[in-house]
């Protein structure tokens, strides 16, 4: 965002409003907040390449692994349902043991999403390979290591 746009915004944001008291006052507080956010974004986008490289080199720690399970093409509902009683018992046990942090049904009905409390993808793969649906090769698994939101480190960095 260039400086002329900021000046235009500041001119527009001084419109007066009438509150409960009947007095008119400029929207200074809103303008100041928006200005501060705008300047912060400008600063973040105009950082030197070395600072960006340093921020990108600092990868977030893996605090969980998201596992997306999808029924393989050609697998019938009957095949999946035959393994479900054992699958459910084992996933409940993993939840009770603190390995499954969260679990969801996929919106398209083709599988589930687990958020595993593991420190790396290899540990998540070991857990998932022990489940009946994986042993019968009925599901595809996608693993995504997740951690703290990296851009938040930029906000915490010293200027």
Alpha helix positions (H), 1-159: 3-12, 28-45, 49-57, 77-96, 121-129, 132-135, 151-156
Q: Which pLDDT value is given to residue 159?
A: 61
Give the C-alpha separation, 103 to 66, whole Å. 10
Structure tokens at 7: 């000046």
In the structure, how many helices (H) and strands (E) does the chain have? 7, 6
Average pLDDT of the segment spanning 144-157 = 84
| Segment 12-62, tens digit of pLDDT | 444 444 445 555 455 566 666 565 665 555 565 555 445 555 555 566 788
Residue 66 falls in which region: left (phi positive, over 0), alpha (psi -120 to 50) or beta: beta
Give the C-alpha separation, 84 to 99, whole Å. 19
Average pLDDT of the segment spanning 74-89 = 96
Q: Which pLDDT value is given to residue 69?
A: 96
pLDDT at 122 over 60: yes
């Amino acid at each position: 965002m260039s400086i002329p746009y900021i000046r235009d915004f500041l001119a527009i944001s001084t419109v007066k409003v009438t509150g409960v008291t009947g007095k008119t006052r400029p929207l200074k507080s809103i303008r100041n907040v928006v200005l501060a956010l705008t300047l912060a974004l400008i600063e973040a986008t105009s950082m030197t390449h070395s600072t960006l490289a340093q921020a990108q080199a600092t990868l977030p720690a893996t605090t969980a692994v998201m596992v997306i399970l999808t029924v393989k093409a050609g697998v019938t509902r009957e095949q999946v349902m035959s393994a479900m009683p054992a699958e459910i018992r084992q996933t409940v046990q993993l939840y009770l043991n603190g390995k499954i942090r969260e679990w969801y049904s996929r919106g398209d009905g083709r599988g589930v999403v687990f958020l595993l409390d593991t420190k790396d993808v290899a540990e998540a793969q070991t857990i998932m390979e022990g489940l009946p649906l994986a042993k019968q090769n009925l599901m595809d698994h996608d693993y995504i290591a997740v951690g703290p939101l990296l851009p938040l480190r930029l906000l915490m960095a010293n200027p």
